[in-house]
């Protein structure tokens, strides 16, 4: 048992002692009523409801908690919309603390604010599962002190390096390896998510690295920030196609929402995916998987909202049950190409 786990056990005993003394249904902490039904209060703070992927994710959190309910255990799940505003989310977390949530699942608006938020959650004795936006440690890796030093804080996510690598590999595996015009290099447009987010950074970096690792020469035509947003993806792609035309052979989008926007721009510009341009996304939204299968997208990568949400909920339940947890939990990405 490592230090974190030892501490976890000690804190758990303290937490459980706190819970059992609660009793009052409105007290906000888990309560065992006369009929022995225990209700846990779960706060879920999502960075923004207006996000295709996080909508799937949060709906699945809610649905999965329901499936775990029994005659004696209930979960009162409150999900709030941070509206992509860190100040708003900070207030929501304050409110969770005041309400005495038994556990918080947290999708940060800004990972740079992780310390401040985690400090207050931990200070209030509430365990916390971070999801989707990973605060990195000083070395830019999984050494984040807010997780390593706090026994009841962990991160559940997917390693975005893998998703970027898969995007690049999908292109490298094409018959022309992405070099449509045969000039010996792959000329690409990159449409990035929120640059503060490691998912965006890693996908941008590793998609290109995978091409280079396959011995392919690459040329960056343009690289713009679309903030995960479909409309911005469309604007960026439309402007780039107007400016650079046929020079663009591959459009890499850090997520499917932006790829949907890019697809609209590509069709508007009279270009045809699979014939004179390639288009890649990440997430494997249902409509994008369909587009991959009918050739409107070259490929995408499954960002497993179901797997991640279930893992986040399972870990939250472990914390509620006072079990020791790991620091990091990873759910694999899966390459999606035409069936």
Q: 101: closest CA among 297, 316, 327, 292?
A: 316
161-190 binders of ligand BGC (CB under 6 A): none
Identify which range of 46-54, 65-73, 238-246, 270-278 contacts ligand BGC by CB under 6 A: 46-54
**Contact with ligand BGC (CB under 6 A) among 12, 90, 92, 132:** 132
Q: Does 53 bind ligand BGC (CB under 6 A)?
A: yes
Q: How far is the CB of 133 from ligand BGC (least distance, A)?
A: 5
Kindly tell me the burial class for residue 283, based on how many C-beta atoms sit within 10 Å of its own C-beta (0-12, 13-18, 19 or more).
buried
Q: How far is the CB of 128 from ligand BGC (least distance, A)?
A: 17
Question: What do you get for the CA distance between the two ends of the chain, in Å?
Answer: 45
**Contact with ligand BGC (CB under 6 A) among 282, 292, 319, 336:** 282
* DSSP letter string, 176-226: TTT-TT-SSSEEEEEEES-TTSHHHHHHHHHHHHHHHHTT--EEEEEEEE-
**Contact with ligand BGC (CB under 6 A) among 29, 230, 255, 309:** 255
Distance CA 27, CA 38 (A): 13
Nearer to ligand BGC, 257 or 312 (CB): 257
Q: How far is the CB of 260 from ligand BGC (least distance, A)?
A: 11
Strands 334-336 and 328-330: what pairing? unpaired
Helix (H) or strand (E) holding 325: none
Distance CA 193, CA 40 (A): 35
DSSP-derived 3-state class of residue 128 = strand
Q: 190: closest CA among 237, 232, 223, 160?
A: 223
Nearer to ligand BGC, 200 or 320 (CB): 200
Helix (H) or strand (E) holding 41: strand 38-46
**Contact with ligand BGC (CB under 6 A) among 65, 166, 228, 278:** 228
Q: How far is the CB of 47 from ligand BGC (least distance, A)?
A: 6
Q: How far is the CB of 219 from ligand BGC (least distance, A)?
A: 25
183-222 binders of ligand BGC (CB under 6 A): 193, 197, 199
294-323 binders of ligand BGC (CB under 6 A): 303
Q: How many residues in the shown chain lie near ligand BGC by CB under 6 A?
A: 15
Nearer to ligand BGC, 60 or 283 (CB): 283
DSSP-derived 3-state class of residue 129 = strand
Q: Give the residues lining the site for ligand BGC (CB under 6 A).
A: 47, 51, 53-54, 132-133, 193, 197, 199, 228, 255, 257, 282-283, 303
């Amino acid at each position: 048992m490592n230090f974190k786990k030892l501490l976890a056990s000690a804190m758990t005993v303290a937490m459980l002692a706190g819970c059992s003394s609660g009793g009052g249904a409105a007290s906000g902490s888990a309560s065992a009523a006369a009929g022995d039904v225990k209700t846990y209060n779960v706060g879920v703070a999502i960075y923004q409801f207006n996000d295709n992927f996080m909508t799937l994710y949060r709906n699945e959190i809610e649905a999965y908690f329901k499936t775990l309910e029994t005659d004696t255990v209930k979960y009162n799940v409150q999900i709030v919309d941070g509206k992509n505003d860190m100040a708003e989310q900070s207030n929501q977390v304050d409110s969770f603390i005041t309400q005495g949530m038994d556990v918080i699942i947290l999708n940060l608006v800004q990972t740079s604010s992780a310390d401040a938020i985690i400090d207050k959650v931990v200070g209030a004795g509430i365990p916390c599962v971070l999801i989707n936006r990973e605060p990195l440690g000083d070395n830019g890796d999984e050494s984040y002190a807010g997780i390593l030093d706090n026994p009841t804080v962990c991160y559940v996510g997917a390693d975005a390096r893998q998703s970027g690598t898969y995007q690049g590999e999908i292109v490298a595996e094409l018959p022309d390896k992405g070099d449509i015009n045969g000039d010996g290099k792959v000329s690409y447009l990159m449409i990035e998510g929120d640059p503060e987010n490691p998912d965006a950074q890693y996908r941008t970096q590793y998609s290109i690295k995978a091409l280079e690792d396959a011995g392919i020469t690459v040329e960056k035509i343009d690289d713009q920030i679309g903030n995960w947003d479909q409309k911005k993806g469309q604007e960026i792609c439309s402007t780039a196609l107007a400016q650079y035309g046929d020079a663009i052979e591959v459009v890499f989008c850090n997520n499917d929402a932006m790829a949907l926007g890019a697809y609209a721009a590509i069709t508007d510009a009279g270009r045809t995916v699979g014939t004179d341009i390639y288009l890649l996304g990440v997430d494997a939204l249902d409509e994008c998987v369909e587009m991959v299968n009918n050739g409107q997208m070259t490929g995408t990568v499954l960002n497993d909202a179901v797997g991640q949400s279930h893992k986040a909920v399972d870990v939250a339940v472990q914390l509620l049950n006072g079990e020791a947890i790991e620091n990091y939990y990873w759910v694999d990405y899966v390459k999606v190409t035409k069936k």
